[in-house]
Copies of this chain bind each other. A is one copy, B any other.
Amino acid sequence: MADKKEISSKYTVLLVRICLCSIFVNILFVVREYYGGEDYELQLSWSRKAAAEAESVAAISCSGHGRTYLDGTILDGEKPVCECNPCYGGLDCSHFLPDCPADADSGDPYFLEPFWMQNAESSAVLVAGWHRMGYRYINNNQSLMSKELENQIRKLHGMVGNAVTSGKYILFGAGSTQLLNAAVHALSLHHNASSPPTPVLASIPFYTLYKQQTDVFGSSNFKFEGDASLWMNNSDSNNTNLIEFVTSPNNPDGKLNKAVLQGPNAKAIYDRVYYWPHFTAIPASADEDIMLFSISKLTGHAGARFGWAVIKDETIYQRMTMYIGVNTMGVPREAQLRALKLINVVLQGRGREIFEFGYKTLSNRWENLSQTLSVSTRFSLQKIGDQYCRFFHKVRKPSPAYAWLRCEREEDKDCYAVLKAANIIGRRGGVFGAEDRYVRLSLLRSQDDFDLLLHRLNQLVLEEDKIKTMPIM
């Protein structure tokens, strides 16, 4: 009887314990239900499907050599397939294609992709079906631009210390691309119908789009006339207006260029898209009359086609605004929303995180490239020294976006062809108005692309050695 009683009481204790445990687990579930998900108290409803879709697509493995996108090709009727880095293939991008050329051509800024993958949570944005359907921002004087984004951009320049924005206007465009021509348009409007078109100039080597746009748009108000230095004597002597593109840091050679032309009739458009701490030291806050920036080179989102101009003169600002309005009615609200989110992430980290990530990546690449070519007498690189950076508060090493390679041998007049023969695709010097003895090599692509480029260059340099040490027959 005592035994039975003991057993019964043991069971009761066990039962109480189980009961307490279970209730405790209940409480945990309930607490998580109502206070869980950090500070996202809301239970998700209509947004959950889109979020799950995005995560499910992102979860597909592409072996670190590619990625999937929500709008990727769907082959099996289910999920999008991997989009592989150049020289990688197979369904999951795990297959290396050994004979494939090392692509160092375009400036696709995939070097920052890993940063955004690491910051997935803070950089994601959910666009509701009814987001900004109208043409204009109701709470921003019916403007085509988001006031919040403008404010963030001003904050950003203040934090980085790379441009003075106070007392200046800000105008958004489709990358810096659209703003380049908007600025040329605005500066050439003084033009008298009977006088010749305003010359558009740049220092060699220059970004090819300056010429291409001016040629394609065939305006009667302006015309690309090439090398700015040839016009130095014209710039203050007569009444001809001159428009000079100044790219600083320069694409392709990374130099912190200044306007060649001075005087009352010389108008400069400063293309400042590379003036961020991952690419260059920031010696001072730029304070030119027209400065162009883009998210493509700031956060690496070339595809977002979002850029902005910082403009001193009100008339120029209004003319440029008119141009953008008539050309595209502003920048898609989706691109503005995304830019807001991305710049917000940059601001949250006080710029340190992204710029350190970018600087580290690019300075390593430059160091590796320099080392590889240091033993070469056939190829040389542009010279960039260490420089004090007011953002990092220290002397920093070079970390340019591009290498401006020169083929030194007399016979290597076509440097592009020399590299092509070694299975490397660069961009020929002629494209930048320079000799074809130069080639631009992009250093801001994916790590896969850079690794292959370095490998192929190494082989080329090793061959040099072989030739040098070959016994004379």
Using a CB–CB distance below 8 Å, which chain A residues touch chain B?
Answer: 12, 15-16, 18-19, 22-23, 25-26, 29, 37-38, 40, 42, 44-56, 58-59, 67, 69-74, 81, 83-84, 106-110, 112-113, 116-117, 119-136, 138-140, 146-149, 174-175, 177-178, 181, 185, 209, 212-213, 216-221, 300-306, 322-323, 326-338, 340-342, 345
A-B pairs with beta carbons under 8 Å apart, 8 shown:
A25-B29, A40-B49, A47-B126, A83-B138, A174-B328, A181-B327, A212-B326, A218-B220
Pairwise interchain contact A135-B149, C-beta atoms closer than 8 A: no
- Expressed in whole angstroms, the minimum distance between the Cβ of A37 and any Cβ of chain B is 6
Question: Which residues in B have their C-beta under 8 angstroms from that of A209?
Answer: 326
Question: Which residues in B have their C-beta under 8 angstroms from that of A146?
Answer: 71
- Given contacts A23-B22, A329-B174, are A302 and B124 in contact (CB under 8 A)? no
- Expressed in whole angstroms, the minimum distance between the Cβ of A8 and any Cβ of chain B is 8
Pick the contact of A70 from B108, B113, B131 — CB < 8 Å? B131
CA distance A70 to B130 in the complex (A): 11
Pairwise interchain contact B133-A303, C-beta atoms closer than 8 A: yes
Question: Which residues in B have their C-beta under 8 angstroms from that of A71?
Answer: 132, 146, 148-149, 333, 336-337, 340
Interface centre among A71, A120, A340 (most CB of B within 10 A): A71
CA distance A146 to B178 in the complex (A): 21
Pairwise interchain contact A126-B174, C-beta atoms closer than 8 A: no
Pairwise interchain contact A69-B132, C-beta atoms closer than 8 A: yes
CA distance A380 to B200 in the complex (A): 53
Question: Which residues in B have their C-beta under 8 angstroms from that of A53?
Answer: 40, 126
- Expressed in whole angstroms, the minimum distance between the Cβ of A401 and any Cβ of chain B is 14
CA distance A348 to B59 in the complex (A): 25
- Expressed in whole angstroms, the minimum distance between the Cβ of A310 and any Cβ of chain B is 20
Q: A45-B55, A175-B329 are in contact. List 10 more A-B contacts (CB 8 A).
A: A25-B29, A48-B51, A51-B126, A54-B127, A69-B132, A70-B131, A72-B139, A133-B300, A174-B332, A220-B220
- Expressed in whole angstroms, the minimum distance between the Cβ of A130 and any Cβ of chain B is 4
Question: Which residues in B have their C-beta under 8 angstroms from that of A45?
Answer: 55, 121
- Given contacts A300-B133, A326-B216, A335-B332, are A54 and B126 in contact (CB under 8 A)? yes
Pairwise interchain contact B129-A117, C-beta atoms closer than 8 A: yes
Pairwise interchain contact B130-A302, C-beta atoms closer than 8 A: no
